[in-house]
Structure 1
Amino acid sequence: MIKAIIIAILWSISPFGEAKVGIPYGILNNVNIYVVFTVCFIANVLVFPIMMFFLEHINRHLLKWNPYKKSALFVARRAKTGSGAQIKKYGFWGLILFVMIPLPGTGVYAGSIASYIFKIEKRKAFLGNVIGIFFSSIIVWVATIASMQGLG
């Protein structure tokens, strides 16, 4: 069970899944539904401070390296076009909505990048991302439990 929890946490901090993959993974591997929700949610929340540290301190040095710069600009454009209009128009609430949608390309990674690009105050950006992650996690958690009960 510890192995399943660790893998669920790793999925939850991964840009390839976040809690959208960590929660179903944990539930499908018989981890207690409340434990899985809690650890995956917290792991996903921890991505924001890590991303902000990276964007504010490490990113500027890596931008001097051309291959990194090209991929960073690509990711920034995607974050801006995927969330830009919504976040520009609705600000904090748009950020929550964007992060909350449990689809690929949304979530705390894109939300952190968008917060950085649109210069949303860090505390507001953190709160918006946390609220969005919470609702996204609830949606995935409930959908996974409901589908598991339908299978049983």
Structure 2
Amino acid sequence: MFLNYLIVFLISMIPIVELRGAIPVAVGMGLDPVISYIICIIGNMLPVPIIYFFARKVLIWGKDKKYIGKFFTFCIEKGEKGGKKLQAKAGRGLFIALMLFVGIPIPGTGAWTGTLAASFLDMGFKKSVIAVMLGVLIAGVIMALASMGVFGGLSFLFAPKS
């Protein structure tokens, strides 16, 4: 049993997959939903401080390196462009925009991407972590409900009868 929770914890730390993939795995394994949710939140949030403080520096360091330079430059440009776009649309509502960006459970909008965007925007560590955490909590609830079939059940209740 411990091994299954460890697997779910590790999956929730993987970029792009994050808790969006870990929660359905936990449900599929038949693990306790509340314990799994908490473990996935912790696993998904654990890399956030490292990403905030170091990812941007690593990308800047590697942008002029022979083999990784083009990819790192692409990541920097994409991060800066995405951050400016988010800031232009959100204005003073950047906190809410970041929270919703992370909270929408689709690939590329998780804690990793949201934290990197926040670091490019110089949003501030505490504010960034809180916005990302709230977004991860929202995404976790959505994924848990979807994985347990709640949305399918609701669509059955509210679908037009023929």
Give the TM-score range, shorter chain: 0.7 to 0.9
Maintained 8 Å contact 2:16/2:108? no
Maintained 8 Å contact 1:87/1:93? no
Report the AA paired with residue 122 of structure 1: F
Q: CA deviation at 1:54?
A: 2.2
Alpha-carbon spacing, 1:127–1:117, altered in 2? closer, same or farther (3 Å) = same
SS in 2 for 1:13: coil
Report the AA paired with residue 42 of structure 2: I
Q: What is the total number of aligned residue pairs between the two structures?
A: 150
- Say which of 100, 105, 113 aligns to 1:102: 105
- Whether 2:74 is the aligned partner of 1:71: answer no
Report the AA paired with residue 25 of structure 1: V
In structure 2, runs of 5+ residues without a counterpart are 154-162
Q: Which moved more, 1:81-90 or 1:29-38?
A: 81-90
2:116 match: 113
Percent sequence identity over aligned pairs: 25
C-alpha distance in 1 between matches for 2:150 and 2:69: 42
Report the AA paired with residue 111 of structure 2: V
Query: Which structure's CA Rg is the greater one?
Result: 2
2:50 match: 50
Report the AA paired with residue 133 of structure 2: V
Maintained 8 Å contact 2:83/2:118? no
Deviation sequence 1:82-107 (CA, Å, 0-9, x none): 56423433211111111111001111
2:89 match: 89
In structure 1, runs of 5+ residues without a counterpart are none
The 5-angstrom pairing of residues 124-143 of structure 1 reads: 124-143=127-146
Maintained 8 Å contact 1:112/1:125? yes
C-alpha distance in 1 between matches for 2:89 and 2:151: 38
2:8 match: 8
Report the AA paired with residue 124 of structure 1: K
SS in 1 for 2:68: helix
2:160 match: none
C-alpha distance in 2 between matches for 1:64 and 1:134: 37
Q: CA deviation at 1:58?
A: 4.0
Q: Which moved more, 1:44-53 or 1:96-105?
A: 44-53
Alpha-carbon spacing, 1:82–1:59, altered in 2? closer, same or farther (3 Å) = closer
- Alignment RMSD (CA, Å): 2.3
Q: TM-score, normalising length from structure 1?
A: 0.85
Alpha-carbon spacing, 1:21–1:84, altered in 2? closer, same or farther (3 Å) = farther
Q: CA deviation at 1:67?
A: 2.8
